[in-house]
Amino acid sequence: MRKLIRFTSVMALGLSCTISIAAAAERITVVSFGGAYTNAQKKGSHEPFMEKTGVQILSEDYNGGLGKLRAQVESGSVTWDVVDLETSDVIRACDEGLIDTVDVNDLEPGTDGSAAADDFMPTAIKKCGIGAIVWSTVFAYDKTKLATAPHSIADFFDTNKYPGKRGMKRSPKVNLEMALMADGVAAADVYKVLSTAEGQTRAFNKLAQIKDQLVWWKSGAQAPQLLADGEVVMTTAYNGRIYNAVENESKSFVIVWDGQVMDIDYWAIPTGAPNKARAQEFLVFATAPEQLARQSMYISYGPPRKTAAAMVDESMKKHIPTAPVNLTNALAADAEFWADYEDELNERFTAWLAN
């Protein structure tokens, strides 16, 4: 009888462990940039995915780059299942074997029945990543604190006309492009100029004109906070962060779209992801037109799919980077340029900061 009880107990324990392991496997870790953006992703895709599949999503924040991803893959201790990457990072990560390839044929078709390959923007499908948003770096100001409204990227660099501190991300990316546009380079010529030694020096010299007035930020949430706290009179920022501060926090911020630098973020699956099958399922779900349009209800980043863009509410359309009214002097970020020059320009930027 004791043996039977012991055997039954062991079986029960084994069954319990099996259930626990199975339950643990039905979780995926999805990594993104936090704040209002991740909240929009949660509403747009996380919550409906969990409701549909029963799979739990553990949301983790990071500040971008490939450092953490590379460390996980190279050590063989990958804990991330899906990660949100900027364009240049998705290209480099793919080249380095840090993320898996994606089959476009697995993606959901457009709402009009069109193939995903035809429905997505041409640049939104990469070998190892699928577009999640079209976003933009803009600059913004608090209209209650400036008597005269700035209208151009040149105004951002004009500390005589607009005295006071400026906020910028601690990175050469976007800052160099904006510096050249402020210095009179046409958006269409920015990367041609920036590809030369003379153009790079020109951009750094323009930044140097306001260097002593710069306050650096690292995470997207910091930029609107600098503005709200009055630490800066203008700041570069992600357009969705400023939209969130205005709509949800009643801030008196205004976006200046002139000189905006547009980019795309991508969902990607790390090589060695512990729950790859579920990660692939999430990637397909999150990039379907309905989810991309739903996400835009909560933050002003545009969907990188035609049929999804058509579903965005009219009240939001004017706030997304690709709205015609916002494209007068816009620059599409060149991911190939940054994939080629990022290490070199990061090194020069670090040295420039130290001098």
Q: Which residue has the tokens 């940054």?
A: 338
pLDDT band for position 134 (50/70/90)? very high
pLDDT score at 23: 43
Question: CA triplet 246, 221, 261: central angle to 5 degrees?
Answer: 80
For residues 245 and 300, the answer to whether their CB atoms sit within 8 Å is no
Residue 9: count other Cβ atoms within 10 Å of its Cβ: 10
106: left (phi over 0), alpha (psi -120 to 50) or beta: alpha
pLDDT band for position 335 (50/70/90)? confident
Residue 44 has pLDDT above 90, yes or no: yes
Strand extents, DSSP E, 87-171: 125-126, 129-142, 166-169
Residue 45 has pLDDT above 90, yes or no: yes
Q: Tell whether the torsion through CA atoms of 51, 304, 38 and 265 is positive or negative.
A: positive
Domains, the chain: 27-134+265-317 (3.40.190.10), 135-262+325-354 (3.40.190.10)
Taking only the tens place, the pLDDT of each residue in 254-311 is: 999 999 999 999 999 999 999 999 999 999 999 999 999 999 999 999 999 999 999 9
